[in-house]
Structure formats: structure tokens, C-alpha cells
Amino acid sequence: MPNHLSTLGIIHTAISVLALIIAIFALLRYGKIDPATGYGRLYILLTVITCITGFPIMKTGHFTPGHYLAIIILILLPLGIYVHSLRIFGKLADYIQVIFLSTTIFLSCVPAIVETFTRLPISHPLAEDANAPIIQKGLGALVLLYFVGVIYQLVKLKAQKRSARKTEFNH
């Protein structure tokens, strides 16, 4: 079977899929990944576990682009969690948090697309390698979805802040 996953690979994949599902629930419920909520904390925990379990998986015998994405995600997560503590962002901290945490979702989806298209269906995968046109189109769609999603979240956050200021001003 050419698409055989190791036990660690199966565990890693299951956790990563669960993390992305939790992220979708968080986005639908709160309009963003909020580390102060249960969904936000669970997404962050599962994403950290996904990144860590991905490091020993080396089907090529060395680090792949997916490993480097995991490192970037592991840097962005604490920045997104503690952005309010970093005074350099000031009033922009909420917006920066949305960008950092949304970027972790985006970066998690890159290997998800590549691995899915190069492994499924098991009998005849849709793509031979990461350079296949279907993968490039999938990644292009992901980039578009990322930018639209981030812009939507930022506009919604700005509207919420404006509404809160008006309510505060009227009381």
C-alpha cells in the first residue's frame, strides 16, 4: 500500500483534523480564535500536539516544508496568545491576534491539502506530488480563503469595538 501511515502518522493526522474542526467551531461561534475560550484553548493545545507529533515523521529522511511550517506555527501561537502583553502592538493587539492565530490555521491547512491530495483516494491519489496542478489550485484557493477570512474577522472586530465605544459613550 503506497500511502501507508505509521501509527504516529495516524495519531498526528487525527489530532490535526480535530484541531481544524475545533478551529472552524471557534470561528463560527466567536468569529475568531480566542485563547480565552474553551474552543480557543483546545485548538491551541491540539495544534501544539500536532506540530510536536509531526517532527518525528520524516518520510524523506529529513525535514520537509511541513516541518518548517510547524516551527512557524509554534512561534505564532504564543505570540497570538500573549500579544496583549507585548506593548509594542498597543491598540492593535486584538487585530494582530486575529492575524497571528488565523495564520496558524492557514499554515496547518497547507500540509493538509498536500497530504490529502497525494494520498487519497488510496488506490489512485489525485496528485503525484506537491507540484501537481490540483494541489497548486487547492493552495491558491486556500490563500484566497485566508485573506477573505482575515479581512472579514478584522472588519467584524472593528465593528464590535466601534459598537462597544458607542455603548460606553452613551452610558
What's the whole-model pTM score? 0.92
pLDDT one-digit tens code per residue, 39-98: 999 999 999 999 999 999 977 778 989 999 999 999 999 999 999 998 899 999 999 999
| Whether the predicted pLDDT of 1 surpasses 80 | no
136 compared with 61, residue with greater pLDDT: 136
Q: Please, which contacts does 95-101 make with residues 24 or more away whose CB atoms are closer than 8 Å?
A: 95/154, 95/157, 95/158, 97/32, 97/35, 98/32, 98/33, 98/150, 98/153, 98/154, 98/157, 99/150, 99/154, 100/76, 101/32, 101/33, 101/35, 101/40, 101/76, 101/77
